[in-house]
Amino acid sequence: MNKNEIEKILKAGKITKEVREYARKIIKPNMQLLEIAEKIEDKIKELEGKPAFPTNLSIDEIAAHNTPNYDDKTKARGLLKVDFGVHIDGWTADNAFTIDLEKSQENKKLITASEKALEKAINLIKQNKDKTIMSEIGKTIQEEIESHTGLTPIANLSGHSIEAYDLHAGKTIPNVTNSSTSQIGEGLFAIEPFSTTGNGRVKDGRQSGIYQVVNQKNTRSPLGREILSFIVDEYGTLPFCSRWLIKKFGTRCLIALKQLEQENVLHQYAQLIEVSEAKVAQTEHTILIHDGKAIVIDE
């Protein structure tokens, strides 16, 4: 990474921090998820960043990948995970926090466990920097979460390396221990422990309305071509949602999206649900390891 790229990364982090503080202030029980998502995304643009992916607002047993539809009436409640990202020229700060909207002791415990697990994982990386053993991060997260009676980390969700326009750039940062001795190396990494009272795995739920271009090839319909060219210009290879496209094209884009998905031009993400449908909390920060330093860019 060169100096110019590092500047972009730090700027994305700074905007993320401001947007998180704003989101924490405005979110109240019974507010529509649609309004929350739009306010977060508008704030990102106001601060001269771009949303790196649609704001995820996932309640209770939905661990991730719930973004409101354009006509969504769902209201904020329960254990709400707010996961959003800011990018500058594709360089992304990815972060998440969880709030308890029903004053529940169980929710508080889940939130504390994921926050502490992240804090400990970050301390480990700050100590060892690029030499940090990735499985040690998983071990640290797992031990912290399991130290809270009845809680377990979600084993099949993990942190990830980030590169320009690539949110999951190849390296996986585990949330549980494993036998690998690989070091993390330099780069940009999202660390995101999930805690749950359930079995500790997620399964695919219903389709999310979150898409990504996976295969940029010709499509038959003229509207499909127009939409695809807009997607590639606006979002590149980053995820986007039908809600964003409807603003530009109206609901007629839904048929085109379906066709692009059938033609394998787009991939649509499924919601991720805890297998035993137990509650899930998540906390996430992005850390830059570079030049002998490890900096949390969004705190």
Cα–Cα distance measured from residue 204 to residue 296, given in angstroms and rounded to the nearest whole number: 31
The residue count for binding Co ion (CB under 5 A) is: 2
Instruction: Write down the least CB distance from residue 105 to Co ion, Å.
Output: 28
Strand-pairing partners, residue 88, are 91
SS3 label, residue 254: helix
Residue 71 DSSP label = T
Instruction: Write down the least CB distance from residue 70 to Co ion, Å.
Output: 24
Instruction: Write down the least CB distance from residue 96 to Co ion, Å.
Output: 7
Distances (CA, A) of 9 to 128, 189, 235, 248: 21, 11, 17, 29
Instruction: Write down the least CB distance from residue 162 to Co ion, Å.
Output: 8
Instruction: Choose between 84 and 211: whose C-beta lies nearer to Co ion.
Output: 84
Instruction: Choose between 84 and 244: whose C-beta lies nearer to Co ion.
Output: 84
Instruction: Choose between 110 and 188: whose C-beta lies nearer to Co ion.
Output: 188
Q: Are 68 and 34 in contact (CB under 8 A)?
A: yes
Q: For the chain, what's the residue count?
A: 299
Instruction: Write down the least CB distance from residue 160 to Co ion, Å.
Output: 6
**190 touches Co ion by CB under 5 A:** yes
The stretch near Co ion (CB under 5 A) out of 13-21, 66-74, 187-195, 217-225 is 187-195
Strand-pairing partners, residue 99, are 80
Instruction: Choose between 142 and 283: whose C-beta lies nearer to Co ion.
Output: 283
Choice from 41, 60, 61, 94 touching Co ion (CB under 5 A): 94
Q: Which of 58, 155, 159, 40 is nearest to 99 (CA)?
A: 58
Instruction: Choose between 190 and 266: whose C-beta lies nearer to Co ion.
Output: 190
Query: What amino acid positions are annotated as catalytic residues?
Result: 83, 94, 160, 168, 192, 284
Cα–Cα distance measured from residue 163 to residue 86, given in angstroms and rounded to the nearest whole number: 13
Q: Are 65 and 41 in contact (CB under 8 A)?
A: no
**41 touches Co ion by CB under 5 A:** no
Written as six digits, the tokens of 150 are: 């009845």
Q: Looking only at residues 101 through 140 of this chain, which bind Co ion when binding is defined by CB under 5 A?
A: none
Q: Are 90 and 236 in contact (CB under 8 A)?
A: yes
Which chain residues interact with Co ion by CB under 5 A? 94, 190
